[in-house]
Amino acid sequence: MENYEQIANSEEFLELKRSKLLFIWPVVILFFCLYLSFPLMAAYAKPLMGKFVTGNITFGYLYGVSLYFVAWALAFVYLAKAKGFDQKAKATIDKYGQRKGA
């Protein structure tokens, strides 16, 4: 059984929480800025969004499709970063864990 109070107050756990927050919030803010700028640009930057880039494909279509790629890219970046967070969490639990029984 782990000593949760000791783990929660440990320097390793506090550093883990801090590093997660410093990674997660900029990613969330970046995505929301990109996501919310799409309808704003569609409403207020119609000449830009309607500009043909190639053939019948406009900048608006490319921007909209790019949001899917950005979302997937951020998910894969988080997945890679989360493995490191999981390893740090496991190391902290192992350090402060008190195992009882057989």
Q: What is the pLDDT of residue 18?
A: 96
Helix (H, G, I), strand (E, B) or coil at 71: helix
Q: Report which secondary-structure segment, H or E, holds 64.
A: helix 59-96
Considering only CA atoms, give the Rg of the chain. Answer: 22
pTM of the model: 0.75
Q: 63, 38 in Cβ contact below 8 A? A: yes
Cα dihedral 76, 90, 26, 31 sign = positive
Residue 1, pLDDT score: 46
Residue 85 confidence (pLDDT): 94
- Residue of 12, 24, 22, 27 lying closest to 87 (CA atoms): 12
- The per-residue pLDDT for 99 is 55
* pLDDT tens digits, one per residue of 10-62: 899 999 999 999 999 999 999 999 999 999 999 999 999 999 999 999 999 99
pLDDT of 9 strictly over 90? no
